[in-house]
Structure 1
Amino acid sequence: MSTARVDIKVVLLGKEYGGKTSLVERFLHDRFAESIAYQNTIGAAFGAKKVMINGEPVTLGVWDTAGSERYQAMSRMYYRGAVAAIICVNLTEAESFLRAKYWVDELQSCEGDSCRLFLVGTKCDLVTQDKSLRKVEANVLQSYGQEVGAFVIETSAKTGQNVGKLFDKIAKDCHPKAGAPANTLTNNIALHTKETETSSKPGGSRCCGGGGGDSK
C-alpha cells in the first residue's frame, strides 16, 4: 500500500454496540446502513478523510477500536499517540456511560493532556423520537464533560446530525499548526468493519492500561 500523511490521529473508544462504526461510516462515506447489522470490530479498523479548515486540507486518520472487553488490552496500541479521542456514549444504555468513564480515566492516565477528549452521545435520533429510551441525561453528560475537560456533543449517525460538526471541531482544535504533531500512516481510505490485522501498530510502543471497543 502507499502511505499518506495523516495530520490528525483520531481514536474512537467506547462500549460495544455504542455507535462507533456507524459514526465513522457517516463521516467517511456519508452513509448509514440501518438494514445491515455491523459485525463487531476486531482489534481496530482504519479510515482517513480530508476536511477543509480555513481553506486548507487537513487529513484525519480515524481508528475505530473494538468495544468488547476481551479486546481491551489490544486497544492501547491504537490510542497510543492519538491527539484526539472520541469517547462514544450510547444514550440509550446507562452502562455505556460507565464504560466511557473508564476510557477517560485510561486516556488521562496514559496520554495525559496530549490527547484531547470528545465525549459523544450517539443515537440521539432514538431519544428524540422516544424520550423514554434515554438512559443518559444530557445534563449529566455535559457536567461530566466539564469535569474532565471534554468537548460534549450528541450525534446521530442515522440522520447525520452533528457528525460533520464533531469532526470539524476536532480538525480545528487539533490542527498541526495549533501544536498537534502530524503522523504518517498507511493510507486505507475504505473503513473495514471486520478484522484489521493487529500487526500494523499505529502508535509504536505500548502504554499502561488498555481499552477496547466494538463498534456499531
Structure 2
Amino acid sequence: MVEEKELLGHAKYDKGVILDFYVYRHKKDGRNCVSLSYIEEGKEEVWFRDFFYDDAACAYQNEYLSWYNLIFCSNNYGPIPVVKYMNHAVQDGKKIAATVYPVDSNEYMTIMRETFEDYYCFPYNVEEYSLMLYVSRKGTLNDYFDKDAIMKVYKDCDIDLDKERMDELFSLELKDFAKKETCGFMLHECYGSENLAVLGLLFGYPIESTIALLKDDITMLDI
C-alpha cells in the first residue's frame, strides 16, 4: 500500500463501467517514484506501474511537460482509452505536438480547420488509424526548450546524449517530425536515447519519465 502520496492527476471515464485513473508521486523503498493506478467502479484500486528516478532527473521543468500528459500519451497508455484530451492538448497549450484520433470525419475536418493558421496539422500513419492526425505548434524544439540544460540533466543521471544528433533534432521544424524521412524515426516506433529524449519533449512527458525508461527503471506492479 502506498502512503503519504501526492496526487498529480486524476481523470474519470465511462467505459460501460466507471473508471477512475490516478497518478501519484511518493517515496518507495527510499526512492522517488511516480505510480499509476485505476479503480473500476465497485472494485479495489489497482496499482499497475511505477516510474523510479533520482533527484537530478527533476532539475528541468517546463510548462509543456507534465505527468498529466503521460496519462494521455499517444499510444493509448495502460487501461485508458484514446480520449479527446489528445485532440486539443496542443491547441490548449499542454504540449507542443501530438498524434490525435478524431472519432469521425466531421471531427477530423474540424481539427484541420481550427489548426490551419496557427499550427501544423497533417494526416499521420493512416495505416494504424485512418483518421489519425499529427498536430504541432510552429517553430523548432529550440523555441520551447533549453537543449543544454536538458542534456545536463541526462548526463547527471548517467545518460550521455550525442550532441550532434541532439543539435540536429532540435533544429528541425516541428512539422518535420511527422515524416520519418526528415526526422529519422516513426513517432510510435521510436528507438535510441536521443530520439526517445526528443519524443518525450514533443509529446510533453516529464524528463524524469524518459530517464526512467532509458534506465529500465519502470516496473509493472503485481496485480
| Band of TM-score, shorter chain | under 0.3
Normalising by structure 1, we get a TM-score of: 0.27
Normalising by structure 2, we get a TM-score of: 0.27
Structure of higher CA gyration radius: 2
